[in-house]
Amino acid sequence: LLLANDLRKALDHEEFYLVYQPQIDLDKGQIIGVEALLRWNHPVLGHLSPAQFIPLAEETGLILPIGRWVLLTACRQIRELQQLSGVRLRLAVNLSAKQFRDVGLVSSIRELLADIGLETDLLELEITESTLMDNIDNATRTLHSLREMGLTLAIDDFGTGYSSLSYLHHFPLQRLKVDKTFVRRLSTHPEDSAITEAIIVMAHTMGIKVVAEGIENKQELEFLVSKNCDEAQGFYFSRPLTMSQLTEKIKDNE
Ligand code: G
Ligand code: G
Ligand code: MN
Ligand code: NA
């Protein structure tokens, strides 16, 4: 496979980079965190979304070194931004299924944070609903180890998988991210607004905060605010930004 060979070389050739999408606290109206999103500048195909190569990275096992690069680079860059601006931003990083199941995950994150000097409570890991539901006992153990280290944990793409809501309280989660497919249908599908509202109420009952993803307009925002959604992310607030764009935005906010 051509792309697999390219993927193998991409780390050495420094073809990956990260963009950061702001997450807004809806009470304060301020950026409280960012989600790191991986991009690949392929020498021939140009800029590729992870949706186009993460599945291949999982199949080939390359996701482990790539995921490690993402964590290291994102933590370093956010630490630098913090030193430069004095602003403490939470950093959310996506973990793929294979990374989450890697036995070395917990110790390697511990070492990485110590090396970089980023406070552990600033790192949030986003794990998809389907990854967590795949092996509930193992997932619960891993989440507890990560939580004991001081990290915060978010369930990503919530609503797209098969999780029984009753399983949620097994996991030590701080945040639940309502998938953007729900947000997209809020105004046209009454059942989706009802589900979204129910998810928010249920999460709050368990002490979990809710982030809505993919907010593209004011109507979506107003609905979510009226239902006490805690945080939001989406093009309405900001597209994913390069680190220099993010630095400018943070300065403007001061
Ligand atoms: O940014 P974009 O919408 O193109 O991302 C597409 C998908 O890729 C999303 O589901 C997102 O969670 C995932 N993704 C983005 N960055 C990373 C990453 O660093 N690691 C993993 N495993 N997935 C990522
Ligand atoms: O699955 P995950 O939540 O990690 O993916 C986040 C993805 O959603 C990123 O690839 C990002 O580019 C994309 N995204 C962020 N905001 C919006 C938005 O407002 N609309 C759409 N369509 N996609 C968005
Ligand atoms: Mn995510
Ligand atoms: Na998501």
**What ipTM score was computed for the predicted complex, to two decimals?**
0.95
Confidence band, pLDDT 50/70/90 cuts, at residue 253: confident
What is the b/e burial string over 64-91, where b = at least 16 CB atoms within 10 angstroms of the residue's CB?
bebbbbbbebbbebbbebbeeeebebbb
pLDDT in tens, 33-71: 999 999 999 999 999 999 999 999 999 999 999 999 999
Which residue has the CA at smallest separation from atom 2 of ligand 1?
A: 49
Q: What residues have CB less than 8 Å from 26, skipping those under 6 apart?
A: 224, 225, 229, 230, 231, 232
Q: Which two three-digit tokens encode residue 111?
A: 């070492």
pLDDT in tens, 101-159: 999 999 999 999 999 999 999 999 999 999 998 889 999 999 999 999 999 999 999 98
Q: Which two three-digit tokens encode residue 149?
A: 């280290």
> pLDDT at position 98, please?
96
Our answer on whether the CB atom of 241 is closer than 6 Å to any ligand 1 atom is: no
- End-to-end CA distance of the chain: give it in Å, rounded: 49
Our answer on whether the CB atom of 75 is closer than 6 Å to any ligand 1 atom is: no
Cα separation, 223 vs 53, in Å, equals: 34
* d(CA 176, ligand 3 centre) in Å: 10
Q: Given the structure tokens 């680190």, which residue do they identify? A: 243
Rounded to the nearest 5°, which phi and psi values hold at 34? Answer: -140, 150
**Whole-model pTM?**
0.96
Q: Given the structure tokens 């991409």, which residue do they identify? A: 10
224: exposed, middle or buried (Cβ count in 10 Å: 0-12, 13-18, 19+): buried
